[in-house]
């Protein structure tokens, strides 16, 4: 019996030793391990990619392990001094790790591409947290910034913190866009946060911008579709300054196809403009027709038409899993597969060529994401619903006057509904936008105060989970103001 106990004890010691060694090699974080866990994890990813230890056969297991690692690797556990001392190294190496993972898209199956979306979110979350502490920018609300009066992101390098560029791109020269580039961005509104939070996996992007570069003049412009506007062409500098918290540029590996796609859409929009017509925004998100186009559909339709239907974007779509059909209908979505902007980041036919973040807006962006993410969770799990209140009903009433020029101009100014909105915007969309803004006006100050108080006490900002926990505590108090627009359904 004693021999058996000794044998079992030795096996236990051996197993514990092996597990500990394995975890340290992978760079898994704990308060007892190296302070450079994030660096170790990035190095581990780069090494595994180089050795092709992550491949078509192993990717599901390996990516699941990496997702687990980053869930443990909360930068919240790092000391402020460590964030300050090693922040730049962490950011640079983390980007190289993401490039390495992106290079695997050619050889991994769709289920692994879907997992990579989850991993990308976790890696970017860690980068945001490190960057905001390393650079130490004063965190401001997007509403306090006059974006079109700011220096131009990407082009005016001295005005912003360094951004990352892809392989074979000289970081010391002015970045040049190419015909057919796709830009995915993160806006700064509650609507942007709704887009980034509603799908699974969640993301940090909310809009797609399609790039056109004139072959003769080399002028770079964008082709974009917006709610209340439809499809239009914008100067590149205007687009880069158009309320972006982050900008990611993706470039097709097939430059000829990309050029044909951009020329097709550009020529179509220009021809319609000469006839004083526009391609309306597609509020039904129907990818099977192209008479109306959302921002995603601009890129989708362009590549589809240029390739005779052979290239359909993206390779793997995200999923809308909400069961509340009423809410999804209000925001123009349906349950099931759905293309969202971040899906392009895991499309093997495109390279990552530029990645830019405005670190002044990280906290504002995180707080809005926390608010909308919590609202969606409360709708789905706690039986809440958006209640039609005075604001939303007034917005619908004001919208009904859009055919009366003088009255519409006065009332739109008072209500905040943009005067340029086209008449085809559904009334339900106007009401939902008004309601979400009302909810945001109540919840954003709550989460901002909690975040600011934590920073003043600890010298560090809250993690994403902590922001959402603070909102759960607030909703549990059944605040009267919130109940006017967001209520729990009766069983």
Residue 26's pLDDT band (cuts 50, 70, 90): very low
Q: What's residue 173's pLDDT?
A: 94
3-class DSSP state for residue 164? strand
Judgement on whether residues 222 and 342 belong to the same structural domain of the protein = yes
For residue 373, pLDDT over 60 is answered with yes
Q: Give yes or no: residues 258 and 312 share one domain.
A: yes
In contact, 236 and 220? CB cutoff 8 Å: yes
Same domain, 332 and 251: yes
Q: Please report the pLDDT score of residue 472 as a whole number.
A: 97
Residue 74 vs residues 84, 126, 464: alpha-carbon distances, Å: 16, 7, 10
Cβ neighbours for 161, distance < 8 A, ≥ 6 positions apart: 131, 135, 137, 357, 359
Residue 16 lies in a domain: no
Structural tokens at position 165: 């560029």
Q: Do 237 and 372 belong together in one domain?
A: no
Contact 72, 29 (CB under 8 A): yes
Residue 118 lies in a domain: yes
Q: What are phi and psi of 17, to 5 degrees?
A: -65, -45
Cα–Cα distance, 447 to 467 (Å, whole number): 6
Please check whether residues 204 and 328 belong to one and the same domain.
Answer: yes
- For residue range 252-265, list pLDDT tens digits in order: 999 999 999 999 99
pLDDT of residue 488: 87
3-state secondary structure string across 407-473: HHHHHHHHHCCCCCCCCCCCHHHHHHHHHHHHHHHHHHHHHHHHHHHHHHHHCCCCCHHHHHHHHHH
Question: Which one of 358, 393, 411 terminates a domain?
Answer: 358
CA 372 to chain centre: 13
Task: Please check whether residue 5 lies inside any domain of the structure.
Answer: no
Whether residue 258 sits in one domain with residue 160:
yes
Residue 408: predicted pLDDT:
58
pLDDT top residue among 402 and 439: 439
CATH number at residue 204: 3.90.1720.10
* Residue 452 pLDDT exceeds 60: yes
Mean pLDDT along residues 482-486: 88
Give the Cα separation of 309 and 315 in Å (integer). 13
Residue 256 lies in a domain: yes
Task: Please enumerate in sequence order all residues whose Cβ is within 8 A of that of 173, keeping only pairs 6 or more positions apart, or say none.
Answer: none
pLDDT in tens, 90-140: 999 999 999 999 999 999 999 999 999 999 999 999 999 999 999 999 999
In a domain, 317, yes or no: yes
- Whether the pLDDT of residue 24 is over 50: the answer is no
Look at residues 358, 391, 426 and tell me which one is the last residue of a structural domain: 358
The DSSP H or E segment spanning 145 is none
Half-sphere exposure of 47 (CA within 13 A, CB side): 9
Residue where one domain finishes, among candidates 327, 358, 389 = 358
Sequence-distant (≥ 6) Cβ neighbours of residue 207 within 8 angstroms: 184, 185, 186, 187, 192, 195, 224, 295, 341
- Domain coverage including residue 482: 362-488
Within 8 A by CB and 6+ apart from 101, the residues are 45, 49, 54, 116, 119, 120
For 75-143, give the secondary structure using H, E and C. Answer: HHHCCHHHHHHHHHHHHHHHHHHHHHHHHHHHCCCHHHHHHHHHHHHHHHHHHHHHHHHHHCCCCCCHH
Q: Render pLDDT for 51-60 as a digit per residue (tens, 0 to 9).
A: 999 999 999 9
Would 11 be classed as within a structural domain?
A: no
Do the bridges between strand 164-165 and strand 350-357 make them parallel or antiparallel, or are there none, so unpaired?
antiparallel
With cut-offs at 50, 70 and 90, classify the pLDDT of residue 393: low
Residue 40 maps to a domain: yes
- Chain segment 374-384, per-residue pLDDT in tens: 999 999 999 99
Same domain (yes/no): 334, 465: no
pLDDT at 12: 37
- Give residue for tokens 């993301």: 203
Beta bridge partners, 319, equal 200, 337
Kindly report the pTM of this predicted structure.
0.90
pLDDT at 404: 73
Q: Which residue has the tokens 């021809």?
A: 271
Secondary structure element (H or E) that encloses residue 261, with its range: helix 255-274
Cα dihedral 208→263→242→418 (10° resolution): -90
* Mean pLDDT of the region 162-168: 95
Tell me: do 336 and 297 sit in the same domain: yes
Label residue 221 by pLDDT band (50, 70, 90). Answer: very high
Q: What is the mean pLDDT of residues 41-50?
A: 97
Mean pLDDT, the chain, rounded, equals 89
Regarding whether 296 and 189 lie in a shared domain, the answer is: yes
Is the Cβ–Cβ distance between 266 and 254 less than 8 Å?
A: no
pLDDT at 36: 55
* Shared-domain flag, residues 308 and 160: yes
Owner of token pair 């936008």: 433
Nearest to 55 by CA among 100, 23, 1: 100
Do 105 and 181 belong together in one domain? no
pLDDT of residue 415: 59
User: Is 221 part of a structural domain of the chain?
Assistant: yes
* Residue 210 scores a pLDDT above 80: yes
- Do 330 and 416 belong to one domain? no
50, 100 contact by CB (below 8 A): yes
Q: Please count the structural domains in the chain.
A: 3
């Amino acid at each position: 019996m004693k021999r058996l106990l000794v044998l079992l004890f030795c096996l236990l010691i051996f197993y514990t030793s092996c597990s500990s060694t394995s975890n340290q090699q992978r760079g898994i974080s704990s308060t007892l391990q190296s302070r450079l866990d994030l660096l170790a994890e990035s190095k581990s990813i780069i090494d595994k990619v180089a050795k092709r230890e992550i491949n078509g056969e192993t990717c599901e297991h390996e990516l699941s392990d990496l997702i687990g690692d980053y869930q443990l690797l909360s930068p919240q556990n790092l000391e402020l001094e460590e964030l300050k001392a090693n922040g730049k190294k962490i950011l640079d190496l983390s980007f190289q790790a993401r490039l390495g993972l992106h290079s695997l898209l050619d050889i991994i199956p769709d289920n692994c591409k879907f997992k990579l979306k989850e991993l990308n979110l976790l890696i970017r979350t860690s980068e945001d947290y490190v960057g905001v502490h390393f650079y130490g920018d004063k965190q401001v609300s997007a509403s306090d910034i006059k974006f079109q009066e700011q220096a131009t992101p990407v082009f005016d390098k001295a005005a912003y913190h360094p951004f990352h560029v892809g392989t074979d791109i000289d970081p010391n020269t002015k970045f040049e866009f190419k015909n057919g580039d796709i830009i995915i961005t993160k806006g700064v509104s509650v609507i942007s946060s709704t887009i980034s939070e509603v799908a699974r996996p969640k993301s940090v992007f909310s809009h797609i911008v399609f790039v056109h570069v004139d072959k003769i003049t080399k002028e770079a412009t964008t082709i974009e579709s917006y709610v209340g506007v439809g499809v239009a062409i914008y100067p590149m500098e205007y687009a880069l300054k158009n309320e972006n918290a982050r900008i990611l540029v993706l470039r097709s590996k097939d430059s000829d196809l990309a050029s044909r796609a951009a020329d097709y859409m550009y020529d179509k929009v220009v021809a319609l403009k000469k006839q004083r017509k526009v391609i309306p925004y597609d509020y039904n998100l129907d990818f099977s027709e192209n008479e109306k186009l959302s921002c995603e559909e601009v890129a989708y339709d362009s590549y589809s038409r240029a390739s005779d239907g052979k290239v359909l974007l993206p390779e793997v779509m995200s999923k809308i899993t909400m069961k509340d059909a009423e809410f999804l209908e209000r925001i123009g979505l349906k349950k099931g597969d759905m293309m969202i902007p971040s899906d392009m980041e895991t499309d093997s036919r495109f390279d990552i060529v530029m990645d830019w973040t405005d670190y002044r807006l990280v906290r504002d962006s995180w707080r809005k994401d926390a608010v909308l993410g919590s609202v969606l969770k409360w709708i789905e799990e706690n039986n809440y619903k958006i209640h039609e209140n005075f604001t939303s009903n007034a917005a619908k009433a004001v919208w009904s006057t859009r055919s009366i020029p003088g009255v519409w101009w006065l009332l739109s100014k008072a209500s905040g509904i943009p005067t340029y909105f086209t008449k085809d915007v559904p009334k339900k969309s106007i009401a939902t936008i008004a309601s979400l803004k009302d909810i945001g006006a109540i919840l954003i100050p709550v989460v901002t105060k909690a975040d600011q108080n934590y920073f003043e006490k600890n010298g560090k900002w809250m993690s994403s989970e902590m922001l959402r926990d603070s909102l759960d505590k607030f909703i549990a108090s059944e605040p009267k103001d919130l109940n006017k627009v967001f209520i729990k359904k009766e069983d």
